[in-house]
Amino acid sequence: MLTLALSTLSTPWPLSGSVWGLVLLIGYRLVRTGWWPERYGETPRCAKCGYILLNNESGVCPECGMDLTTAFCMRLGERPRRPVQMVVGVLLGLLALGALGSVVFHTVEWYHFRPAGWLVRDLQSGNAGDVTRAWGELERRRKVSGSSYLSGDVEQKLIGVALAEQARPVLGPVGQELIDYLGETYLAGKLTKEQGDLFLGQTVVLTTLSVRPTAVLGERLDFFVQGQRRLPKIPGNANWRLSSELPLATLEDRSSPGGPISTTRPPGGRGGGSREGSGIESIMGSIYAGGNGKMTLETSTLVGISAGPLSHTMANNTLYVDRKFTLSAEVRVVGHVSELITMIDNPMLLPRIQQSIAIAQAKKSQDGARPSLLVEFKVDAPPINIAFDVFCREYGIDERIGSIAIGKGSQGTFTTDPGHGIAWSTSRIGLVLRSSDSVAHLAGDLTPIWKGEIVFENVEVGK
C-alpha cells in the first residue's frame, strides 16, 4: 500500500485521485461497520438506552423510563463492535488522506499564490532558474489581470530591478524582458521623471573609440565607436529604434596650437533605424591620416532613440533621446611604414623559416567567369616574426596573389586572395614570398620581422 501511495505521486490527478478516493471510502466503511455493525439475534433492547428487556412485564424501561407500549420502542438483536476492523479502517483512511493530500500538493501550482513582492525579490536572487520562474509568473499574472496586477509599491520595486538590470554590462536570463517592461511602463507614463531620464540615458551608452595606435601618412584609418545598447525590443505595439550619425571626425596635433589637422565629414543622414534590443553598438568611420607624430583622433556621434507604430519607416516615431557622444584616442602618424616596422636581415634564419612554411595545396579555382589560382600555406612556429607579400611567378613575371603575416612560434593557415584573375598557361609555377613592412603594419604592426625572400620553384598546380 505504501508503494502504491508513492507511485501515485507522479500519476495524473484523475487516476490517482480516484484510486485514493476509493481507498478512503473503504476505510470509512470499515470504521462505520466496525463501530455500528448490523444487529443479529432476537434479544429485545430499549430503543433509547439499549437496556435488555427480557421478562419485562411493566411496559416501562427500568433504566430510562421509556414507555414500551409505543411504536419503535424496542430493538431486537446485538451490535458487537469490531475494534480490529475499526483500526484497519482508520489506518486505511489516514493513508488515503495522506496520499490525496500529497497528490493535491504536487498538482496545485502553489507558486501562483506567491506574493508579488516575493516574486520581485526572486528576480534579484542571482539564480537563473528562480529568476526565469519569477518573471514567468509575473507575466502570467499580467496577462490574466492586465495592468493592475501589481500594487504601486511592488511596481516601483520592479521598476528599480529593471533599471538596475538595464545598466548591467551583461544581461541576466530575463534582462531583455525587463528592458521591454521598462519601455512599456515609460510609454504608459508610469515612470517618474528621474526613472524616465535614467531609462532613456541607459538605452545607449558609447564609451570606446577603437583605432589602430599607429598610422602612415595618407593612409585610410578606420575606427569604431562602440558601446552598449539596451533598447526595448518591440514591446506591445510600439517599435523602439536607434538612429546614429557620425557627422564629424578630426585628427589633430594638440601639442601645438594651429598644428596639422585632418577632418572628415561622412555623408549626412542618420542610419541604423532598424537596430533594436540589446547588444554591442558599433559605428564605423574612417579618416585619412595627416600630420606627423602624436595626434588626437576625436569623434562626435549623434544618437537618437525613438518609438512609434510598427512600420518600415520612422516618420511617425516620437524622438525621446537626442544625444551627442564625443570620444578621443591617441594615434601616432609617421611618414613611412619603415618608421614603424623593423626588418631583421639575417640569412642564417632562412633554412628554419623555409622549414616552417609548407604549401598544403595549389590548384585552379573559379571565381565567377574567370579562373584564379588558389594556394594554401601552412605555417608552423617560425623562429621570428614574418610578413610576406605572396607572388605567382610565371615566365619571369611576378604578380601578387596574397600575403602571410604571423608571429614567432605561432601556427596558422593562409590562402591566396580569391579572384585575382591571374591566367597561367603551365601546370607548374613559381611562388615567391617577399618580406613586406606594409603587410606587417596591416597585421597590427608586427615588428620586428625577418627581411628576405623565399622562392618555391616548380610548384605543381592541380585541378
Q: What pLDDT is stored for residue 316 in this prediction?
A: 64
Structure-block grid coordinates of residue 9? 505521486
Peptide bond into 267 cis (omega under 30): no
What pLDDT, on the 0 to 100 scale, is given for residue 15?
Answer: 53
- The closest alpha carbon to 401, from 346, 456, 444, belongs to 456
CA triple 293-294-298, angle to 5 deg:
130
Within 13 Å of residue 36, how many CA atoms lie on the same side as its CB?
Answer: 3
Q: Over the Cα atoms of the chain, what is R_g? A: 44
Helical ranges in 75-221 per DSSP H: 83-107, 116-122, 128-145, 152-166, 175-187, 193-201
pLDDT score at 147: 66
Helices (H), ranges, 167-204? 175-187, 193-201
Q: Which is nearest to 239 in space by CA: 275, 188, 278? A: 275
- 444 is written with which cell numbers? 597590427
Distance of CA 227 to CAs 209, 224, 432, Å?
A: 9, 10, 43
Instruction: Give yes or no on whether 204-335 and 340-460 have one common fold.
Output: yes
For residue 200, the tally of other CB atoms under 10 A from its CB is 16
Q: Would you state the pLDDT for residue 46?
A: 86
Q: Does domain 204-335 have CATH number 2.60.40?
A: yes
Element (H, E) at 167: none
- What does the angle CA 316 – CA 175 – CA 237 come to, to the nearest 5 degrees? 25
Which residues make Cβ contacts (< 8 Å) with residue 60, sequence separation at least 6? 66, 67, 68
- CA nearest to 440, candidates 279, 249, 212: 212
Q: What is the pLDDT along the chain (463 residues), one digit of tens a residue?
A: 334 333 434 444 455 667 877 888 888 888 887 777 777 777 888 888 888 888 887 888 988 888 877 888 888 777 777 888 888 888 888 888 887 777 776 777 778 888 989 999 999 998 999 999 999 999 888 888 776 678 888 999 999 999 999 999 999 999 999 999 999 899 888 999 999 999 999 999 999 999 999 999 989 899 999 999 999 986 555 678 888 888 888 888 887 666 657 666 554 444 444 567 888 888 888 888 888 889 999 999 888 888 876 555 555 677 888 889 999 999 999 999 999 999 999 999 999 999 999 999 988 876 555 667 889 999 999 999 999 999 998 888 888 999 999 999 999 999 987 655 555 566 888 999 999 999 999 888 899 999 999 999 999 888 7
The CATH number fitting domain 340-460, selected from 3.40.50, 2.60.40, 1.10.10, 3.90.105: 2.60.40
Instruction: Please give the single-letter amino acid code of residue 339.
Output: E
Q: How far is CA 192 from the centre of its chain?
A: 29
Other beta carbons within 10 angstroms of residue 128's beta carbon come to: 11
Residue 237: C-alpha distances to residues 146, 188, 301, 307 (Å): 16, 12, 29, 10
> What are the structural domain ranges in the chain?
2-106, 113-192, 204-335, 340-460
Report if pTM > 0.75.
no
Nearest to 297 by CA among 268, 254, 258, 334: 254
- CB atoms under 10 Å from CB of 67, counted, come to 9
